[in-house]
Amino acid sequence: MSRTISRRLVPFALAALAAAATLASAPAMAQAGYPLRPIKFIVPVPPGGAADVMSRMVAEHLQARLGQTVTVENRPGAGSSLGMDAVAKAAPDGYTIGMGNIAANAINPAVRPSAFPYQPVKDFAAISLVGVTPLVLAVNAEKVPARTLAEFVAYLKANPGKVAYGSSGIGSSLHLGMELLLQRTGTQAIHVPYKGSAPMVTDLLSGQVVATMDAATTTWPHVQTGKLRALGVSSAQRAFFAPELAPIADTIPGFDVKPWHGVMAPAGTPQAIVDRLSSEIQAFVAQPATQAKLRERGVVPVGSSARDFSQTMNDEFELFKKVVKDANIKPE
């Protein structure tokens, strides 16, 4: 009886082996033929900003290198989550990619875990980190006597819960960057959220709030006029726009907060396609002309492997989950 059953199973076994062989060869086939049709590049922010410009630069390069149209589709809303949700739910075939960022793939899911439509790391295949934008810790030069970060920490300790700092909103990278600084130094301050950086800076200059951690494009012009005083840069390395400005990490070891933008695809996208796109983007970011254009917009060029970008995404999400929990931050 056992021999009869074995013979009956032979066709099924052969079919299973054939299916397995087909699946095993799928990435190689995808690499050889990809792309066979246009690619959609979802950008989860409105047109015109640094992230949009960065995305269009990448799209133009990929189009030239891959020989297929790469169409940029702006889908802003809900802190970039609308666009990235569309990426997460797209077919994992390499024909839909997106420009993820620290808001959509780290901070917002940490602040609103129960209301989020996707898993910020697991639902995506990291392709390449394109660039980061270090923040500048700045204070009102007339209202705050501190001239160094150490002096600012001492100032906070001498005035617990009396110093007001501004951010572009609850759960923004500006907000959580300052909260991380307060947590690491054991200090307290009053958070004043605004609807964007522009109104916050207006009040910072007038002294309604006296400190912030914001992008260089927002703060640095006022640092140069002397109205604001820069006390540190949020990235672990010195920034190209102010090489003389020490990283906050020099005073607070391990401190490293920098909004990032990186290309990703839906989870399950064949690794061969991911690796090819990653290689193309890394080569593009390494070009001097690309680096010059990114720096004009306050962006530090990176260009990373898929593996390194995936690790960055995971580390960032875990970091901000802890910051949110420790600070008991609730969504608006």
Q: Is the confidence at residue 144, as pLDDT, over 50? A: yes
| pLDDT cut 70: percent of the chain above it | 90
Domain with CATH 3.40.190.150 in the chain: 38-133+259-327
- Residues 127, 277: contact at Cβ < 8 Å? yes
Domain with CATH 3.40.190.10 in the chain: 135-250
Q: Is 305 exposed, middle or buried (0-12, 13-18, 19+ CB in 10 A)?
A: middle
> What are the tens digits of pLDDT across the range 244-279?
999 999 999 999 999 999 999 999 999 999 999 999
**Mean pLDDT throughout 108-132?**
94
**Mean pLDDT throughout 11-31?**
45
**Mean pLDDT throughout 98-104?**
96
Q: How high is the pLDDT of residue 24?
A: 45
Mapping DSSP onto H, E and C, the string for 100-161 reads EEHHHHHHHHHHCHHHCCCCCCCCEEEEEEEEECCEEEEEECCCCCCCCHHHHHHHHHHCCC
Assigned superfamily of 38-133+259-327: Bordetella uptake gene, domain 1 (3.40.190.150)
Q: How high is the pLDDT of residue 33?
A: 87
Q: Is the confidence at residue 15, as pLDDT, over 80? A: no
Question: The domain 135-250: what is its CATH number?
Answer: 3.40.190.10
pTM: 0.86
Between 143 and 6, residue with greater pLDDT: 143
Q: How far apart are CA 297 and CA 276, in angstroms?
A: 27
Residue matched to tokens 């005035």: 159
